[in-house]
Amino acid sequence: EPEVTQTPSHQVTQMGQEVILRCVPISNHLYFYWYRQILGQKVEFLVSFYNNEISEKSEIFDDQFSVERPDGSNFTLKIRSTKLEDSAMYFCASSEGSGIQPQHFGDGTRLSIL
């Protein structure tokens, strides 16, 4: 069964550094999402992306964050200048459509900011 893949599985970065988290969504999916989960807390929505542009974003997704689909397969989340509070598990998801279509999740990238 096709799946969403995320790399790396664990990223350790110094505060203030830029980090790029990578995702390969399921190949025929058109809608892409990033979520994050701070340790011990709920999963939170960050951003959704369709047709090469952001379609929704949360208040968490400020100017430090950006997303890109640099080619036909990858979907990336960039954090420009990381803060300690960016430490979390970041999940990528994709769906075939935006209506009543299931979202499929990757295994996540654990980001640790030192």
Interface with another protein (CB under 8 A):
31, 33, 35, 37, 42-45, 48, 50, 55-56, 58, 89, 91, 98-108, 110
Q: Which is nearer to another protein, 25 or 108 (CB)?
A: 108
Q: Which is nearer to another protein, 7 or 81 (CB)?
A: 7
d(CA 32, CA 62): 18
CB 92 within 8 A of CB 73: no
Q: How far is the CB of 86 from another protein (least distance, A)?
A: 16
Q: How far is the CB of 45 from another protein (least distance, A)?
A: 4
Contacts of 114 (CB under 8 A, 6+ apart): 12, 13, 14, 15
Q: Which is nearer to another protein, 32 or 82 (CB)?
A: 32
**Distance, CA of 30 to chain centre:** 15
